[in-house]
Amino acid sequence: MKRISEAIQLFQNNEIYSKTGDIPTILEKQIEAVLSEEFKDSEENEEFASETIKNWVSSLWKAMNYFVDLQQLPEQDSVAFKKKYLQGLLEFIAHKDHGILHSYFVYSGILHLAKQDGKPIVSGSCQDQQAQLFALLHDIAQVLPFSAYNSGHISRMNQKNEHARILSALVKMFGIKAGFDKKATAEFSFAIKTHDSTYSNVRYPEIDYIFQLGHDSDKIFGSSMKKDIKTITKGMLKRNYEANRGPKGSYLLRTELTKTYRNNISYGDRCLSDAVSLVRREFGIEMYTQAGRRIAEERRNSAMEQIKEVYGYFFDLTKAYIEDKVLPILGKQKSNLIVTETGMDQVEKPLRYMPTTRLELQNLFDTLYETPIRLAIDPVDEKKYTDRYNLETDARGLKIHVVDTNTGKDVYLDPSIARFCFSQDGRERFLEEITTAFQNGIH
């Protein structure tokens, strides 16, 4: 996403911020760039770009100006607030997991499910506007670092876990400005607040049909708009892996977790669990609509067939990187690779020791895998985590961060995968553990 990176840099340097009138056009171009990269020659992308991108940019632009005005800040602070918001918008557009592509997939999925249910949505109708806004905004608070001072959400201690509640409060304030009456604003706010509250069962059958579609599309088509069940299932598993690669992600697999513990994991509890537990819960989510229930069941039946293929592929990538890049530098004085240790809410720092042999590297991955991390970063956070989970030592998530100074590319090595990469039967044992973690839990 070179164009987006360049745009972010321009905002940081104040080189385009002064040209306020150009900003909506810039945002449109960034969205077009993301969609073009994903679909390339697809006619579907061209149709979507011409009819919807301007609507989405208009909504984001109205929201930004509304919240800037709401702050009643001195001019200098207002400029800083708007600049931060704009940079956040660009980062949201490019975000792999909850960015504009995810919004596009959810919106397209809403239209598809409605047709499957025999209740197609008319383009430009009130339902269509609701669908677009839900798709665009439902996850934006996971990425965009803004909060209105009088919304009750000034402090953003746990933005990811609380993103739905945060945005719900802001929607109540912004709904009328966006063109909804009080009733529609309340329904929209409630739909946003509860869209991730169904990991155990469908709790809110009273929500409006359009938001039932939004919930089901988010859970089924969040990573792909392909209609083939095998492709949908693969996309879900791949997205689950990608979302856990960086310093904020959890381990892909924790072999010590019991089935009971896995079943109690809530949305957002990544480092208290593992990615397998979370995606396993997603496969078990109930759906509101008839079409959603049918597709979800087909996807569950396909899941076990795809697990070994998808996670086996990512195991092979990890093993190849260790063999080709990391092992050759052990014991050497100089290298083009910078190797550090990091994790969720952790300060990035040098490795606790630099391994010089294959065995020492293997032992390092085992040590990182077994080392608890402190998620709390201040006394308020500490009370929140201890109240919620009792023991912070349940958290895991340390990773090795490798940066290639020659290419600028970096990789986060997950110890829960890497620890299997040092024996001949490691791949088979890893996939056996993955399969065991999924079994008896997605129905």
Q: What is the per-residue pLDDT across 89-132, written as a single tens digit (0 to 9) for each?
A: 888 888 877 888 888 889 989 999 999 999 999 988 888 888 88
Distance CA 310, CA 239 (A): 10
* pLDDT tens per residue across span 305-361: 899 999 999 999 999 999 999 999 998 878 899 999 998 878 899 999 999 999 999
* Most confident of the ranges 79-83, 153-157, 344-348, 424-428: 424-428
Residue 404 vs residue 1, higher pLDDT: 404
Q: What is the pLDDT of residue 405?
A: 93
Residue 401 has pLDDT above 60, yes or no: yes
| Percent of the chain surpassing pLDDT 70 | 73
User: Taking residues 260-269, what's their average pLDDT?
Assistant: 71
Instruction: Please check whether residues 298 and 268 belong to one and the same domain.
Output: yes
Whether residue 28 is found in the same domain as residue 93: yes
Range in 49-58, 292-301, 325-334, 417-426 the model is least confident about = 49-58
Q: Is residue 362 part of a domain?
A: yes
Helix, strand and coil percent figures for the chain, each rounded to 5:
60, 5, 35
Do both 342 and 412 map to the same domain? yes
- Higher-pLDDT residue of 206 and 91 is 91
In a domain, 442, yes or no: no
Angle, helices 100-116 vs 75-94, to 10°: value is: 60
Average pLDDT over residues 12-24: 51
Q: How many domains does the chain have?
A: 3
User: Contact, 364 vs 351, CB < 8 A?
Assistant: yes
Domain end among 171, 197, 220: 220
Q: Give the C-alpha separation, 280 to 404, whole Å.
A: 34
Phi, psi of 26 (to 5 degrees): -65, -45
Are 332 and 293 in a shared domain?
A: no
Task: Compute CA 224 distance to the chain's CA centroid, rounded to the nearest angstrom.
Answer: 14
3-state secondary structure at position 403:
strand
Q: Tell whether 258 and 185 lie within a shared domain.
A: no
In the prediction, which pLDDT does 183 show? 79
CA proximity to 241, closest of 319, 303, 297, 315: 315
372's tokens: 């608890």
CA-nearest of 135, 131, 101, 103 to 115 is 131
What per-residue confidence (pLDDT) applies to 313? 95
- Which pLDDT belongs to residue 341? 95
* CB 110, CB 213: distance < 8 Å: yes
Its domain, for residue 391, covers: 326-433
Contacts of 14 (CB under 8 A, 6+ apart): 83
Task: Quote the crossing angle between the two packed helices 43-71 and 100-116, to the nearest 10°.
Answer: 120
Q: Where are the alpha helices (DSSP H) in 138-208?
A: 163-174, 182-194
Q: Is residue 443 part of a domain?
A: no
Whether 398 has a pLDDT exceeding 90, the answer reads yes
* Edge-to-edge strand list for the sheet holding 337-342: 349-350, 337-342, 399-404, 410-413
* 170 CA to centre of own chain: 20
Co-location of 92 and 125 in the same domain: yes
Strand partners, 412: 401
The long-range contacts involving 229-234, CB below 8 angstroms and separated by at least 24 positions, are 229/295, 229/298, 229/299, 229/302, 230/302, 230/305, 230/306, 232/295, 232/299, 232/302, 233/299, 233/302, 233/303, 233/305, 233/306, 234/306, 234/309, 234/310
Do residues 140 and 246 both lie within one domain?
no
Predicted pLDDT of residue 433: 93
Is 191 part of a structural domain of the chain? yes
Give the residue carrying structure tokens 């321009």. 10
Contact 420, 430 (CB under 8 A): yes
Place of tokens 């040092």: 422
Residue 42 has pLDDT above 50, yes or no: yes
- Pick the closest to residue 223 from 114, 299, 311, 167 (CA basis): 299
Which residue among 185, 220, 255 closes a domain? 220
pLDDT at 44 over 60: no
Indicate if 374 and 282 belong to the same structural domain.
no
How many alpha carbons lie under 13 Å from residue 409 in its C-beta half-sphere? Answer: 4
Q: Could you tell me if 111 and 121 are in contact, meaning their C-beta atoms sit under 8 angstroms apart?
A: yes
The reported pLDDT for the residue numbered 49 is 52
The answer on 392 and 298 residing in a single domain is: no
Q: How confident is the model at residue 198 (pLDDT cuts 50, 70, 90)?
A: low
Last residue of a domain, one of 178, 194, 220: 220
Q: What is the pTM of this model?
A: 0.71
* Residue with more model confidence, 341 or 268: 341
Residue 20 has pLDDT above 80, yes or no: no
Spatial contact of 170 and 144, defined as CB atoms under 8 Å apart: no
Is 439 among the domain residues?
no
390 within domain boundaries: yes
Residue 438 domain-assigned (yes or no): no
Q: Is residue 253 part of a domain?
A: yes
Closest CA to 90 of 159, 153, 1: 1
Domain identity same for 47 and 184: yes
DSSP secondary structure letter of residue 401? E
- Give the three-class secondary structure for 420: coil
The answer on 269 and 133 residing in a single domain is no
Q: Answer yes or no: is pLDDT of 273 > 80.
A: yes
* Predicted pLDDT at 378: 55
**pLDDT averaged over every residue in the chain:** 78
- Residue 137's Cα: distance from chain center in Å? 13
- 428 and 332 both lie in a single domain: yes
Q: Is the pLDDT of residue 78 over 50?
A: yes
